[in-house]
């Protein structure tokens, strides 16, 4: 009797789930995608897969199904878009302005900082924080970029031509930069080997693993998993580091107040504080008619620390690799850097000199095309929308494949060849479709740190290249890639550096 009741209950549940999933799938019938199983959809295809495997699966799915496809993750359908027309719609349409559910996995770490927040909170914070990236402010940061990249270049040379795993070293450098600029706090991560970057590395991997693993999607199951302990430890390390930075800056500002403004941070003739840090805005400005709470400050600091160091580290790492792989490009970058900045690395760099490095601009663009630091971004529809001939219901998760689009031969002929000249104005590759090349995203939710990143990358590369000649560890070495939230070299990118 009990067996019959249990069997009937399971059967009813199965029919219910099956019907519910049929309704869920109905709007997307015209969109192609890999065949799935009746109740779990494509979930089983992601279980046990590493971030490298998942990245390759997404590339393969695009090859099989084209630039629009779906993946059935049992609790919903994920739509993937990889053509410029659709991406223009998604990046500029207010109905796509909301971040998708998978960003929820970041909530405990980043809170609702600028990257994840939506609606009024996002709008007011974005407006208040935009001045922290004003041209005049960036001008003050160039000196920090310069000092920190000199330390990095000297570290590379200290390996005397032996193999160096550059990604961890570059991350420490970009961490120093973001802490000393945006947070206005002295940082020596390159000499003190901060545990922060390792914690970010581990937590990013865990968060990505959860995004594609439906079993551990729920809090309850995640807490039972073997990764939960590491996750909590990482959070603790990150939190401790962030709070110490906020505390240090608060004390500096208190001293500044007591000295009635007589400090290194005095106003200059433009009326902007000479070293007004993003953190100062967070600590001193009223948003929505009130100061930010400690938790709101912490969320933004965590957000900017992460978004501002891991992305630029990825960009610089792949650029150094590209120059090692293409010695003729490296030579041209070197010659331009010496002709504009001189060969003495002690001469301070200026923003206007960086603007004159035109060939380096092309090389950076090409590297961000081939290796976009943010390979995928996700949104959720806030109302029913038409996209690519399909009516998409409210609350559907949509992923934009920046990496895939940047490698599409239709928009970038010979996409696997490194050709900086394709970005020359006369060739007009960017004009062909303005949304075919979007390493910093576009529209209202584009990267607030784009200019900051571009100057930091330019400053770092022009410094390293004037001090070092870069070589691959062996001819034709190709780094295996992994894509979590950030595109990374799976093996930490080994390269060799020799003095000029
Ligand atoms: C090469 C370096 C960088 C790249 C390729 C990059 C790329 C991007 C992309 C694609 C987005 C959109 C993300 C999404 O929609 O989910 C974004 C957003 C963002 N980026 Fe960057 N980023 C870089 C550097 C930086 C830096 C240096 C900072 C801070 C100093 C920064 C801060 C942010 C923030 C706060 C957002 C969220 C903006 C918003 O939603 O209003 N990024 N970035």
Is residue 201 a part of any domain in this protein? yes
Q: Is the beta carbon of 297 within 6 A of some atom in ligand 1?
A: no
Pocket test for ligand 1, best of 171, 175, 449 (most atoms within 8 A of CB): 449
- How many CA within 13 A on the CB side of residue 436? 16
Nearest-atom number in ligand 1 for the CA of 456 is 27
Q: Are residues 10 and 53 in the same domain?
A: no
Distance 311 CA to ligand 1 centre (A): 8
Q: How far apart are CA 34 and CA 226, in angstroms?
A: 30
Q: Is the beta carbon of 106 within 6 A of some atom in ligand 1?
A: no
Q: How far apart are CA 156 and CA 170, in angstroms?
A: 10
70 DSSP β-pair partners = 79
Burial class (CB in 10 A: 0-12, 13-18, 19+), 415: middle
Q: Are residues 1 and 99 in the same domain?
A: no
Q: Is the beta carbon of 445 within 6 A of some atom in ligand 1?
A: yes
Q: How far apart are CA 433 and CA 368, in angstroms?
A: 17
Contact 329, 322 (CB under 8 A): yes
Range of the domain at 18: 1-30
Q: Are residues 23 and 106 in the same domain?
A: no
Q: Is the beta carbon of 182 within 6 A of some atom in ligand 1?
A: yes
Q: Are residues 206 and 290 in the same domain?
A: yes
Q: Are residues 23 and 108 in the same domain?
A: no
Q: Are residues 166 and 142 in the same domain?
A: yes
Q: Are residues 156 and 226 in the same domain?
A: yes
Q: How far apart are CA 213 and CA 46, in angstroms?
A: 7
**Residue 243 maps to which CATH number?**
1.10.630.10
Is residue 213 a part of any domain in this protein? yes
Is residue 268 a part of any domain in this protein? no
468 is in an annotated binding site: no
Q: How far apart are CA 410 and CA 376, in angstroms?
A: 19
Q: Is the beta carbon of 114 within 6 A of some atom in ligand 1?
A: yes
Q: Residue 62 has which token pair? A: 């695009």
The domain tally of the chain equals 2
ipTM of the predicted assembly exceeds 0.95: yes
Distance 445 CA to ligand 1 centre (A): 9
pTM: 0.93
Q: Are residues 25 and 44 in the same domain?
A: no
pLDDT in tens, the chain (500 residues): 777 877 787 777 767 666 767 677 778 889 999 998 877 888 888 888 888 899 999 999 999 999 999 999 877 899 999 999 999 999 999 999 899 888 889 999 999 999 999 999 999 999 999 999 988 889 889 999 999 999 999 999 999 899 999 999 999 999 999 999 999 888 888 987 778 998 998 999 999 888 877 778 788 899 999 999 999 999 999 999 999 999 989 888 877 666 655 544 544 443 445 556 799 999 988 888 889 999 999 999 999 999 999 999 999 999 999 999 999 999 999 999 999 999 887 888 899 999 999 999 999 999 999 999 999 999 999 999 999 889 999 999 999 999 999 999 999 999 999 999 999 987 777 677 889 999 999 999 999 999 999 999 999 999 999 999 999 999 999 999 999 899 999 999 999 999 99
Q: Residue 112 has which token pair? A: 């609702």
Distance 42 CA to ligand 1 centre (A): 30
Q: Is the beta carbon of 303 within 6 A of some atom in ligand 1?
A: yes
Nearest-atom number in ligand 1 for the CA of 178 is 30
Is residue 281 a part of any domain in this protein? yes
Is residue 23 a part of any domain in this protein? yes
Residue whose Cα lies nearest atom 16 of ligand 1: it is 377
Q: Are residues 24 and 128 in the same domain?
A: no
Is residue 477 a part of any domain in this protein? yes
Nearest-atom number in ligand 1 for the CA of 374 is 10
Distance 221 CA to ligand 1 centre (A): 31
Is residue 297 a part of any domain in this protein? yes
Is residue 105 a part of any domain in this protein? yes
Residue whose Cα lies nearest atom 17 of ligand 1: it is 447
Q: Are residues 226 and 97 in the same domain?
A: yes
Q: Which residues contact 196 (CB under 8 A, 6 or more apart)?
A: 175, 189, 237, 238, 241, 305
């Amino acid at each position: 009797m009990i067996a019959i009741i249990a069997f009937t209950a399971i059967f009813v549940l199965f029919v219910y789930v099956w019907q519910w999933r049929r309704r869920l799938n109905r709007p997307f019938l015209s969109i192609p995608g890999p065949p799935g199983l009746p109740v779990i959809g494509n979930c089983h295809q992601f279980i046990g897969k590493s971030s490298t495997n998942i990245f390759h699966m997404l590339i393969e799915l695009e090859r099989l199904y084209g630039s629009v496809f779906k993946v059935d993750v049992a609790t919903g359908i994920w739509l993937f878009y990889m053509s410029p027309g659709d991406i223009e719609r998604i990046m500029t349409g207010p109905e796509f302005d909301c971040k998708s559910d998978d960003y929820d996995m970041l909530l405990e770490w980043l809170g609702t900082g600028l990257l994840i927040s939506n609606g009024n909170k996002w709008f007011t914070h974005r407006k208040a924080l935009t001045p922290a990236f004003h041209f005049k402010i960036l001008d003050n940061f160039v000196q920090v970029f310069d000092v920190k990249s000199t330390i990095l270049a000297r570290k590379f040379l200290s390996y005397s031509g032996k193999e160096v795993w550059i990604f961890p070293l570059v991350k420490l450098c970009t961490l120093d930069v973001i802490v000393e600029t945006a947070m206005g706090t002295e940082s020596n991560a390159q000499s003190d080997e901060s545990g922060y970057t390792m914690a970010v590395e581990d937590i990013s991997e865990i968060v990505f693993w959860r995004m594609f693993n439906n079993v551990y999607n729920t809090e309850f199951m995640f807490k039972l998993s073997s990764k939960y302990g590491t996750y909590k430890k990482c959070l603790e390390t990150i939190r401790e580091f962030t709070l110490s930075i906020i505390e240090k800056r608060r004390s500096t500002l208190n001293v500044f107040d007591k000295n009635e403004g007589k400090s290194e941070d005095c106003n200059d003739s433009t009326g902007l504080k000479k070293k007004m840090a993003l953190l100062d805005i967070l600590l001193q400005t009223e948003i929505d008619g009130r100061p930010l709470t400690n938790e709101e400050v912490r969320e933004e600091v965590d957000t900017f620390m992460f978004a501002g160091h891991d992305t630029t580290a990825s960009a610089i790492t792949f650029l150094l690799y590209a120059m090692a792989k293409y010695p003729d490009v490296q030579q041209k970058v070197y010659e331009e850097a010496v002709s504009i900045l001189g060969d003495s690395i002690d001469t301070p760099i200026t923003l206007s000199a960086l603007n004159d490095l035109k060939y380096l601009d092309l090389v950076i663009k090409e590297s961000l095309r081939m290796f976009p630091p943010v390979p995928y971004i996700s949104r959720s529809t806030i109302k029913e929308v038409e996209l690519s001939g399909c009516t998409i219901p409210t609350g559907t998760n949509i992923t934009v494949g920046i990496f895939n689009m940047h490698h599409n031969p239709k928009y970038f002929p010979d996409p696997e060849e490194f050709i900086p000249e394709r970005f020359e104005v006369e060739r007009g590759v960017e004009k062909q479709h303005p949304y075919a090349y979007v390493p910093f995203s576009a529209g209202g939710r584009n990267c607030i740190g784009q200019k900051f990143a571009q100057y930091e990358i330019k400053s770092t590369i022009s410094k390293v290249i004037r001090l070092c000649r870069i070589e691959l560890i062996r001819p034709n070495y190709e780094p295996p890639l992994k894509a979590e939230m950030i595109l990374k070299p799976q093996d930490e990118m080994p390269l060799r550096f020799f003095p000029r």
